[in-house]
Structure 1
């Protein structure tokens, strides 16, 4: 450890992001991590769970993975990333994504040739200044050598936040269009939160129509509408 790092550690000790107790390095302590609403390594393809399959309309997807439920402290951190670009929350969410992905990687559950990150409409991207999905997932995808394809673009549509499940499905139709070739590729589609499945399924349908071999949906969190 360098002298500078040693001084920083002694003067500014790392705190658990949840309980604020002292820990060796920034992140979540071993006591708090198991209390987060995360999916266990044994869950596998979440679409095989009847309760989750009923919640989300994802007929165009061959599988679904997520880090956890959009609730509790995990939901708080993701909101801080999404709406405030909070750097500390982003670091925590990246750590959680990396740990949960490690379980999926060991199981060889996801076989992907490339990844499509659900895009924001251009106006929303300009207003916000960043795509929170790219910000939290890009480092891991690069590490695992999964190329990110910018082949999907989004037309401006009303926000889904206040819409019903049916209205979300209608709003998502024709919201996206293809700008590149994905024929015969196994595609991983990533979003930050899946609520009704309308957005994810619309992107998946477009990829299937374009000749994708298979589609696996992945999200940082899922939540029931």
Structure 2
């Protein structure tokens, strides 16, 4: 196999991630049949991304712009976009990306997300992955959010606008309240983010503490609006 073919095969897998059948030219990552079986979010709060009972759909409610969780928190981001619930196989894919270093999977998943949220490419001035601390980046060797953003953009994302200046404990080890305390002051943004509309990309959102602190750093430097795009939204703790 030539080097070019190896590169193409790496970034553009030819087989469905679920059923392993050959993908058609217009299909990305999963075939159309398997795509319909994935745990899509049918209803969630547009403001904070919190999951909302899908039973409301039966009552004709197909959009929630503000929820009870929003009233409890001071969110610095302006809106959340999420594609899936944090359930299998999506949850398993995100674990593989983070702990099995499946770079191809991250890139392909980012490309899949683009098919649903491509309008954001023209709606914002800048797309940024949520950064890791230098210590965590050295330990892991990569930032999964940057790989997802790379797939979403189709090119390497710009990552010099916001930095993680504090190495925090992994959020998965903490309670909901501890998560908010854990990430306080963890990010620092550059001055030239002023008046920019920014999209932050991350893999999964649970309490929203991490992306909120990142959004706070951007807003403190004058960002006009901050949106959040995540692959999956998890249940609140």
- Please indicate the TM-score interval, normalised by the length of the shorter structure: 0.7 to 0.9
Displacement of 1:164: 0.8
| Aligned ranges 1:111-150 → 2 under 5 Å | 111-142=123-154, 148-150=158-160
Matches of residues 66-77 of structure 1 in structure 2 within 5 Å? Answer: 66-77=82-93
Does residue 26 of structure 2 align to residue 29 of structure 1?
A: no
Please provide the CA RMSD for this pair. Answer: 3.1
Name the count of aligned residue pairs. Answer: 208
- Residue 164 of structure 1 pairs with residue 163 of structure 2: no
Unaligned runs of 5+ in 2: 6-12, 53-66
1:112-155 Cα deviation digits (max 9, x unpaired): 11122211111110011111111121243256xx9634222211
Task: Report the 3-state secondary structure (helix = DSSP H, G, I; strand = E; otherwise coil) of the residue aligned with 2:202.
Answer: strand
In the alignment, is the contact (CA less than 8 A) between 2:199 and 2:227 conserved in 1? yes
In 2, are the aligned partners of 1:58 and 1:200 still within 8 Å (CA)?
A: no
Report the Cα offset of residue 44 of structure 1.
9.2
Aligned-pair CA distance for 1:78:
1.5
Change over 3 Å in CA distance of 1:71–1:151 after alignment to 2? same
Consecutive unaligned residues of structure 1, counting only runs of 5 or more, are 6-12
Q: Post-superposition shift, 1:221?
A: 1.4
CA distance in 1, matches of 2:223, 2:192: 9
* Cα deviations by residue, 1:139-196 (Å, 9 ceiling, x for unpaired): 43256xx963422221111111111111000111111122442111111111111111
Match of residue 40 from structure 2: 38
Shift in CA distance, 169/79, structure 1 to aligned 2, threshold 3 Å: same
CA separation of 1:50/1:162 partners in 2, compared to 1, >3 Å: closer, same or farther? closer
Mapped partners of 1:54, 1:69: distance in 2: 19
Q: In the aligned structure 1, how far is the partner of 2:89 from the partner of 2:103?
A: 16
Relative to structure 2, which stretch is displaced further, 207-216 or 174-183? 174-183
Alignment partner, residue 223 of structure 1: 234
